[in-house]
Structures are given as structure tokens and as C-alpha cells.
């Protein structure tokens, strides 16, 4: 009887569509697993194609490339060494599955298909994949290993849900190995752990949870893989936001399989959000082949935080800052922008935009003749800046980093075809109050692997002085918006919780302010649809994206919701309903 079982976890960063590169990563991981004497190497969900592949996975040529790569990896196991469990799309009997293939002894020894398909946000897998059956375990070196895939352990109370873990326990699984593609969100680690604890409690089996890392468009996968013993003790905890290959040695006793492995502290909370922004920007730039980035440096806190994130992600030599002053730009903004650039060590230049703005105004003097001056002329500043930044981008190939925070983007306090457009926005999902917190945090702490300097990189004056915005010439944002603490609290209730206005007002927020913020949120929908992509850090974005119609006349009045009148509803009895359905 085998009393030891060694599993190597490859918490790696695949690239969607790079089948050859992902296969090379798998080979290198297998070499490490072989050197460690592993019996099994585990790779994340859909690793060979990258996750999530979205509609790319529907292309027959892509499906064929993935299968060919998996077959080649399978052949390479003929000479001995660890078996490989790798995620791949798989076509069987004309149906496309989200699969895990077990590669061993020169062949594809087993296949397992994902049974429970997520259908929210970008994870609309029901339109891509067929549902797999709840199947029994696979056998690796004589050990029966259950392979639920990601959503297969997230118990859902519905008629469609297959209890895969229960099936595996009933059919003799000895240990559960769960390949995942689970994106980062604040406090997500606690949620994952609670789900895993529930499955271990129900099945009585130890569980290995392997998650990928890396940025993919707006998603960031944080890794943070772990393993639990059957008694719920933590057998291993891998780091977050970095690639890690770890080998866990399991021993079998009278109470089943058990492991005492490594455990590292996790980066969570504000530190987790900052690390996610860094990783998301780094992978967006590198995986899309940009040679570097540039951004407008205003002397304000949003661009300062984005500049720090960019330097931490890419290094100072790949970041270019441009100050684009106009006549309303305060000297303090010019001074703070220069100090920021020096502290970060980035290339920095000042390009006054008066000639561009005046030129636009001169060109428009005819069409605008007889019309009063208003916000239109003021927005020419932002549009001139956007045009100039995009021109530098076109000439150099560097990607424009957009710097709008979630608070102001939510209510339309950004200029379309100007300061809200660009290649990518690392703080798109960060409220203004957190922008201040993250800026202070970065001056005290630098993430592991960050390429920027240590110590104070954002001048203290940028954090402490009142925010200014040339969107309203020399006024502050808060001359027309409520204080950010109030604005963010209202937006969190409207956007993340979708609370009725009456509930928010009852919680103590001024009715006129709540109503105004709700109106601004609704009328800015068309702007948000055209904004640059950016890192997602809130769980709301994965449960159900905010997809409100642009053309929409409904407005919450802010009054108490009317109670439904159940007396008006005729309800069929169960027997008559059955007769009708049959």
C-alpha cells in the first residue's frame, strides 16, 4: 500500500492564446516537479489556453492547437516522472468542454469535465461550454484523486447544480485537487477558504486549491493557493500575486492523508488592492507588447498614484510623465508634479497646451458665435491633453495610462475623448477615498517584486492638500460634489448594493444629495461604456457587471417602495399547475 503521495502545485501566470508559451511553462514546472520527486504536477484551470479565453475558445483552429499541445505534453510523460493534471478546452462528441486532462505514461490517462458552469460577468461559460457529468476520481500512482474544477466546489442551491464533491466522496476519492481560475477581490481569500472548509467538512477529505495568477484584460488572478487537511488545519498556503511552484508531501495514516507544508502570509486589504493594480497593469502592458507607458502628470493625487503603480509594475525606465499645463494650472501643481517625477525617477517633460486650446477655440469661434461660454470651452483643456498624449503614444508606441478614479468616473466627472480615454486605467475600480489611502500606504510599504523605489514616492503635499480639478477651471471637485467620504459611501450603496434611494436616505444621507448622485450615475452610463479598460478589485464586478441601458428614463423617486398587493394575484394550485405543465 502506498503511504506517501507528493503533489507539486504550479501557481503560474498563463497568457490567453499563447498555447506554445503556456506549454513551455508546463514543461518547466514538470522538470521542477520531477526534481522534487513528485507523483503529480497540477496546473490551473484551462491553463494550456489561458483563462478566461472567452469566445476565442470557439475557434476550431484554437481548439486544435490546444489539443495538439496537450497531446505532445502527454507523449513526454512516457519516460516516467510525475503525472500532469492540466486544464484544457476539449471537444468530445461534438461538444466543447472545460476539461482537465491527466497525462501519464505517455498518454492522456483520464479526462474530467467541469459540471457547474459560472454564468456571470466575463464568466459566461454556459454559452461556451457543455456541462460535464459529476464523475468519479482519477487514479494517480494508485491514489484516487477527485478533480472538481473551480465552480464545482461552489455549492449552489439550484436544480441544475451537480454536487461533484459528494459524488467524488461516494465513489472513493481519497483527496480533492481543485484547479481554479478565481480572480482577485478584496476579502476573497476568506470566501474561498470558507467554501473549501465546507467541502472538506462535508466530504471528510483533504483539499488542494490551486489558483492561477496574472492579469487578463480587466481581471487579476492573485494565486493565494492553499491546501487543507481533513481536520481543517492548513496544510499549505502559497503567496499571493506571484508565481510559485510548491511541492507538498502527503502521508497516509489511520485518519487519511495529511500534509504539513509551507505557509506564507498573504497580502490583503488595501495592500491587496494595490498589488492587484500593479499586477494588472504590468500584465496588460507586457502581454500586449507595449514598450512602456506614458501618462499625464497633473500634480494631483490620481495621476500620482497611477505613476507610482506604473513604476512599480514596469520600472522607471518604461514610464514617461508629461505635465500639460494651461492658464488655470496652479504653481503648486507644477511643483508637486516635478517632485513626483524626481522621486519616481521617471522621464518627465512639461508641454504647455495654451496654443492647442486657443487654436481649438479659434477654429470653433464661427460655430460657437452668439452662444454663451460654458463647460464646453473648459473641456477643451482635457481634450487637448488627450490628443497630445495619444500623439506621443502613436509616435513612440508607449501606451497611455488613464488616471480617473471610480468616484469621479461613476458620476461623469471626466471628459470623454479627453482625460478618461487611453489604453488602461489601473485605478478604474478604486474609489477616491481609497486613492488617498493607497497613496499614503505606498509611501510606507512597497510590494514584493515592485520595481519602484522604497520610501516616500508620492510627495506628502499631494496627499494632504485639497484636490483640485481643472474640469471646473479653478474650482475644486467638491464645490459641486459632496465630500468624498459621503460620495463614496453613497456610490457604494448605489453601485455595489443597488439599494433603493429611500433606504440610503433613511441611513442618514441628505435626500437632495442622494437624488443628485443617482441622477449623475445614470446619465454618465454612456461615458463609462467608452472608458478605457481597467483593473477590477470589487467582488460586485464578478457577481454581475453593472450593465444598465444608456437609453433609460426610469428614476428612483426616493420614496418608500410600495408594498405588493398579493390579493390581486391569482395563483394556481399545485395539482392544476402540474396538469397544465403536462
485 included as an active-site residue: no
Rounded distance, CA 468 to CA 89, Å?
50
Q: Which of 25, 49, 100, 114 is catalytic?
A: 114
Rounded distance, CA 97 to CA 111, Å?
10
> 10 Å Cβ neighbour count for 516?
16
The answer to whether 391 and 364 are in contact (CB under 8 A) is no
300 is in an annotated binding site: yes
| Burial (CB count <10 Å: 0-12, 13-18, 19+), residue 268 | middle
299 is in an annotated binding site: yes
The vertex-296 CA angle with 349 and 458, nearest 5°, equals 85
The full DSSP string for 43-78 is --TTTTT-S--GGGGG-HHHHHHHHHHHHHHHHGGG
297 is in an annotated binding site: yes
First to last CA, the chain: 55
The answer to whether 142 and 174 are in contact (CB under 8 A) is no
97 is in an annotated binding site: no
Nearest partner of 314 among 337, 289, 271, 285, judged by Cα:
285
365 is in an annotated binding site: no
120 is in an annotated binding site: yes
Rounded distance, CA 332 to CA 323, Å?
13
32 is in an annotated binding site: no
> 10 Å Cβ neighbour count for 361?
14
Rounded distance, CA 404 to CA 395, Å?
24
418 is in an annotated binding site: no
303 is in an annotated binding site: yes
| Cα-based distances in Å from 485 to 174, 516, 539 | 51, 16, 21
The answer to whether 393 and 416 are in contact (CB under 8 A) is no
| Burial (CB count <10 Å: 0-12, 13-18, 19+), residue 243 | middle
DSSP 8-state assignment for residue 94: T
244 is in an annotated binding site: no
105 included as an active-site residue: no
Q: Which of 49, 66, 100, 150 is catalytic?
A: 150
DSSP 8-state assignment for residue 402: P
Q: Which of 25, 45, 434, 492 is catalytic?
A: 45
Rounded distance, CA 12 to CA 47, Å?
9
417 is in an annotated binding site: no
Backbone angles phi, psi at 108, to 5 degrees: -85, 100
114 included as an active-site residue: yes
Binding site, annotated residues for ATP: 296-303, 403
Q: Which residues are catalytic, by number?
A: 45, 114, 150
Binding site, annotated residues for deamido-NAD(+): 379, 408, 527
Binding site, annotated residues for L-glutamine: 120, 182, 188
Binding site, annotated residues: 120, 182, 188, 296-303, 379, 403, 408, 527
Amino acid at each position: 500500500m502506498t503511504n506517501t503521495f507528493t503533489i507539486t502545485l504550479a501557481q503560474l501566470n498563463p497568457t490567453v492564446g499563447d498555447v506554445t508559451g503556456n506549454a513551455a511553462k508546463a514543461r518547466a514546472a514538470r522538470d521542477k516537479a520531477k526534481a522534487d520527486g513528485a507523483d503529480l504536477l497540477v496546473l490551473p484551470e484551462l491553463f494550456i489556453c489561458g483563462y478566461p479565453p472567452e469566445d476565442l475558445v470557439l475557434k476550431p483552429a484554437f481548439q486544435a492547437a490546444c489539443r495538439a499541445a496537450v497531446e505532445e505534453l502527454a507523449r513526454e510523460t512516457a519516460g516516467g516522472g510525475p503525472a500532469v493534471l492540466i486544464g484544457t478546452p476539449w471537444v468530445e462528441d461534438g461538444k466543447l468542454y472545460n476539461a482537465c486532462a491527466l497525462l501519464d505514461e505517455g498518454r492522456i490517462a483520464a479526462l474530467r469535465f467541469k459540471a457547474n458552469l459560472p454564468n456571470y460577468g466575463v464568466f459566461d461559460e454556459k454559452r461556451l461550454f457543455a456541462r460535464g457529468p459529476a464523475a468519479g476520481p482519477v487514479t494517480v500512482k494508485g491514489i484516487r484523486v477527485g478533480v472538481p474544477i473551480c465552480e464545482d466546489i461552489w455549492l449552489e442551491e439550484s436544480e441544475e447544480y451537480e454536487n461533484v464533491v459528494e459524488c467524488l466522496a461516494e465513489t472513493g476519492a481519497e483527496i480533492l485537487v481543485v484547479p481554479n481560475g478565481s480572480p482577485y477581490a478584496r476579502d476573497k481569500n476568506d470566501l474561498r477558504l470558507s467554501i473549501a472548509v465546507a467541502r472538506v467538512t462535508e466530504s471528510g477529505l483533504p483539499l488542494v486549491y490551486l489558483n492561477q495568477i496574472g492579469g487578463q484584460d480587466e481581471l487579476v488572478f492573485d494565486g493565494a493557493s492553499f491546501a487543507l487537511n481533513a481536520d481543517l488545519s492548513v496544510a499549505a498556503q502559497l503567496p499571493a500575486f506571484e508565481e510559485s511552484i510548491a511541492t507538498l508531501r502527503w502521508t497516509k495514516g489511520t485518519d487519511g492523508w495529511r500534509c504539513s507544508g509551507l505557509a506564507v502570509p498573504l497580502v490583503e486589504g488595501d495592500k491587496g488592492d494595490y498589488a492587484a493594480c500593479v499586477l494588472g497593469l504590468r500584465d496588460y502592458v507586457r502581454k500586449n507588447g507595449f514598450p512602456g507607458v506614458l501618462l499625464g502628470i497633473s500634480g494631483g493625487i490620481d495621476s500620482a498614484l497611477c505613476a507610482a503603480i506604473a513604476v512599480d509594475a514596469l520600472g522607471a525606465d518604461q514610464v514617461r510623465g508629461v505635465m500639460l499645463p494651461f492658464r488655470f494650472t496652479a504653481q503648486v501643481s507644477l511643483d508637486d508634479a516635478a517632485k513626483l517625477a524626481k522621486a519616481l525617477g521617471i522621464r518627465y517633460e512639461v508641454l504647455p497646451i495654451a496654443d492647442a486650446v486657443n487654436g481649438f477655440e479659434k477654429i470653433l469661434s464661427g460655430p460657437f458665435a452668439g452662444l454663451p461660454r460654458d463647460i464646453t470651452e473648459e473641456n477643451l483643456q482635457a481634450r487637448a491633453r488627450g490628443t497630445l498624449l495619444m500623439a506621443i503614444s502613436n509616435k513612440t508606441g508607449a501606451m497611455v495610462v488613464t488616471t480617473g478614479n471610480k468616484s469621479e468616473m461613476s458620476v461623469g466627472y471626466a471628459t470623454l475623448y479627453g482625460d478618461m480615454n487611453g489604453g488602461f486605467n489601473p485605478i478604474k475600480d478604486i474609489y477616491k477615498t481609497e486613492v488617498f489611502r493607497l497613496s499614503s500606504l505606498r509611501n510606507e510599504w512597497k510590494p514584493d517584486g515592485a520595481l519602484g523605489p522604497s520610501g516616500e514616492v508620492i510627495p506628502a503635499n499631494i496627499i494632504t492638500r485639497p484636490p483640485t480639478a481643472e474640469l471646473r477651471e479653478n474650482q475644486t471637485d467638491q464645490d459641486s460634489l459632496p465630500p468624498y467620504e459621503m460620495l463614496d459611501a453613497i456610490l457604494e450603496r448605489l453601485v455595489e448594493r443597488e439599494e433603493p434611494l429611500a433606504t440610503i436616505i433613511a441611513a442618514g444621507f441628505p435626500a437632495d444629495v442622494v437624488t443628485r448622485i443617482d441622477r449623475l450615475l445614470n446619465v454618465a452610463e454612456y461615458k463609462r461604456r467608452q472608458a478605457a479598460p481597467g483593473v477590477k478589485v470589487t467582488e460586485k464586478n464578478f457577481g454581475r457587471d453593472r450593465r444598465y441601458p444608456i437609453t433609460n428614463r426610469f428614476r428612483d423617486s426616493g420614496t418608500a417602495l410600495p408594498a405588493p398587493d398579493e390579493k390581486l394575484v391569482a395563483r394556481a394550485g399545485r395539482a392544476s399547475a402540474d396538469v397544465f405543465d403536462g
